[in-house]
């Protein structure tokens, strides 16, 4: 005479089902999308002037020292660090 699954098999099945459900919950919590923090717009005063941008692009391709490039990099550093006299 055949009887249904044993008590141990039932407990193992319920434990396996509970484990799978727990894994789904943990995966859902871990991968939940978090809101992106709002970014502040860059004030127009700190925008890089077009002439400085072109000069820095030109200087990036040079391999020899250039006085104009040294001045452009110095102006860019002053602008970046917010020092006085940053406007070229």
Q: What is the pLDDT of residues 35-71, one digit of tens each?
A: 767 776 655 555 667 888 888 889 888 888 888 899 9
pLDDT of residue 84: 63
pLDDT of residue 1: 45
Quote the CA–CA distance of 10 and 15 in Å, as a whole number: 9
Q: Does residue 75 contact residue 88 with C-beta atoms inside 8 Å?
A: yes
Domain ranges of the chain: 1-32, 48-81
DSSP letter assigned to residue 43: P
pLDDT of residue 53: 87
Confidence of residue 11 (pLDDT cuts 50, 70, 90): very high
């Amino acid at each position: 005479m055949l009887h249904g699954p044993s008590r141990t098999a039932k407990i193992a099945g319920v434990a396996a089902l509970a484990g799978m459900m727990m894994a789904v919950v943990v995966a859902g919590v871990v991968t939940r999308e978090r809101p992106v923090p709002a970014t502040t717009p860059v004030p127009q005063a700190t925008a890089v002037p077009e002439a400085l941008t072109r000069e820095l692009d030109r200087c990036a391709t040079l391999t020899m020292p250039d006085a104009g490039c040294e001045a452009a990099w110095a102006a860019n550093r002053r602008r970046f660090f917010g020092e006085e006299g940053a406007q070229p």
